[in-house]
Structure formats: C-alpha cells, structure tokens
Amino acid sequence: MEKEIQRRILAGNRTYFAAISLFRSGLLSRATEIILYKTLIRPVVLCGAEAWTVTDREEQAVLIFERKIFRRMYGPKYENGEWKSRTNLEEMSKGENIVKWIKGQRISWLGHLERMEEDRMPKKIFTQELEGTKRRGRPRKIWKEEVERDLQVLGVRRCRELVADRKKWKDIVRQAKAHSGLQCQWMNKTKKKKKSEM
C-alpha cells in the first residue's frame, strides 16, 4: 500500500504542476483554488480510498502532500519583519484535511455496503469470514475494524439502524470529514509537542 500511495502522491504533484498556471494566475480567489484542489488534484491521489486501510506512516505521507499543496497556494506570511511558512492550514480549509476525508469516505462506503442486497459481490466479500491460518508477525489492519473505530470516535451507536436513513448517514459522513478526533496521529503528536514547548 505504501508504494501505491507514493505513486499516487507523485501523480497528484504532476496534476498540480499541470494546472499551475491557474493557481498562479492571480485571477482566482483562495476559495476557488481550494475547490480546484478538491476537484482536480485530491481525486487523483485518493481514487478508491474508501477501501483503503492505512498505517500512521501512510496517513502522514498524504497529509504532508496536502499541506505542501496548500502552502504553495497560500504562500508564506509576513510577520514581525520576516517571511514565515503558514501553520494554520487546517483552519483555512475549515477543519477538513485529506486524512479525515479518507475516513469519511470509508464511512460512506460502509453505508452503501450495509444497504446492498445480499447477492451483490461487494456485500458477499464484506460479510464473508475468511478461512485459513494467519501469517506470522504483526496482524494487518482490517478495514471493518478501522471504520468501526472511527464511528466510535464520532459517538455513533446502532450503526446498522442508522444506515437505512440516507440523510442521517450523510450527516455522519459530513461530521467525520471535519471531526478533530479523526485527525492523523502524527498531527496530534505534533500539536501536543508545540503546546508543551509554549
């Protein structure tokens, strides 16, 4: 998965530089540039991300990519007589970031799976218990367990009852994409470190 994510990040960078004339034209507002990022660049990196199980290291990689793009769009800020890199990037994107978006998409896909007819192939794969012996070493993350953990962070209970109501489920997905508890672990550690240094 790590190699695939690195390949996607390179593709995202190529997409950004292909559209760089739009971002540097000076004709677009910051809000429009964010919309362009979300519609042109992010889908290239995260196509099919609703089925991903990612490690902390992989979350960190996609988050660093997004922050680099935002810094290029917003540029440095002039403060106390010197130019500095921006650090409040998440505030500018209204609390959203690429890791929360992945987790929101996984929750959205869970809703689709739960509502599917039993004879559909994705539903069969989702509900089937795999047989056989596990490989030695640290167990790999399981998609269903990851999504259930995210729902617990959101305080969602009685998941199977809620998925039947599409409007309520969309609201849960929307909350997930801006919920601070679904932050990348690397960002949480970075924020704690900054607070301790103050």
Per-residue pLDDT of the chain (198 residues), as tens digits, is: 789 999 999 999 999 999 999 888 888 888 898 899 999 999 999 999 999 988 889 999 999 999 899 888 887 777 777 777 766 666 666 667 899 999 999 999 999 999 998 889 988 888 877 666 666 655 566 888 899 999 999 998 888 888 888 999 999 999 998 888 887 665 555 555 555 555
Q: Is residue 195 part of a domain?
A: no
Ramachandran category for residue 194: left, alpha or beta (phi over 0 → left; psi -120 to 50 → alpha): alpha
For residue 176, what are the domain limits? 95-127+143-181
Same domain for 170 and 119, yes or no, is yes
Q: Is residue 28 part of a domain?
A: yes
Q: Is residue 188 part of a domain?
A: no
Q: Is residue 198 part of a domain?
A: no
Q: Is residue 177 part of a domain?
A: yes
Q: Which residues are CB-contacts of 40 (< 8 A; sequence separation ≥ 6)?
A: 15, 19
pTM, two decimal places: 0.80
